[in-house]
């Protein structure tokens, strides 16, 4: 779920809103709806214990950065709808390795901002599997076609003609 559905639901929004500093209301609304569904599913999975697999595991490590990125993009958890997920996030944030990683990310972003450098190139974006599927199945095929026509996309494997 982490590197597939959660990543896919936030990827295009990160490119457009964070990278290009542009607004795309339909993209944002669709991502919010999909993330709400995923948050509810994660909430249900936490009914069995404090972490996704009982004890802290790779599942928790995989999901945490996607939820943090989603919140940064304007898709926070809802304490009324996802109280277990909120408590889980607090537990994860208390872990020393996560706190160190958060500090490293903030330091890097601040350094890039001070140097007037972007965190990534939003006009030359690699698309793959779940990210591309999310865009197409949610009705943004024409938007993506325009991205391709404008030369703002590339794929991980070159296609021989």
Nearest to 37 by CA among 9, 11, 12, 16: 9
Helix (H, G, I), strand (E, B) or coil at 125: strand
Q: What share of the chain in percent tops pLDDT 70?
A: 98
Which residue, 72, 42, 84, is CA-closest to 59?
42
Scan for tokens 């993209």, then name that residue: 27
**Tens of pLDDT, residues 45-98:** 998 899 999 999 999 999 999 999 999 999 999 999 999 999 999 999 999 999
């Amino acid at each position: 779920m982490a590197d597939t559905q959660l990543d896919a639901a936030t990827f295009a929004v990160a490119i457009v809103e964070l990278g290009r500093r542009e607004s795309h209301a339909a993209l944002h609304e669709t991502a919010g709806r999909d993330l709400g569904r995923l948050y509810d599913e994660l909430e249900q999975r936490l009914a069995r214990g404090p972490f996704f697999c009982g004890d802290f595991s790779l599942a928790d490590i995989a999901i945490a950065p996607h939820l943090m990125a989603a919140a940064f993009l304007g898709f926070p958890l809802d304490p009324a709808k996802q109280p277990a997920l909120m408590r889980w996030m607090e537990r994860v944030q208390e872990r020393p390795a996560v706190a160190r990683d958060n500090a490293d990310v903030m330091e890097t972003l601040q350094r890039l901002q001070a140097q007037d450098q972007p965190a990534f190139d939003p006009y030359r974006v690699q698309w793959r599997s779940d990210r591309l599927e999310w865009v197409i199945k949610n009705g943004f095929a024409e938007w993506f076609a325009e991205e391709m026509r404008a030369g703002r996309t590339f794929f991980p494997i070159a296609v021989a003609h």
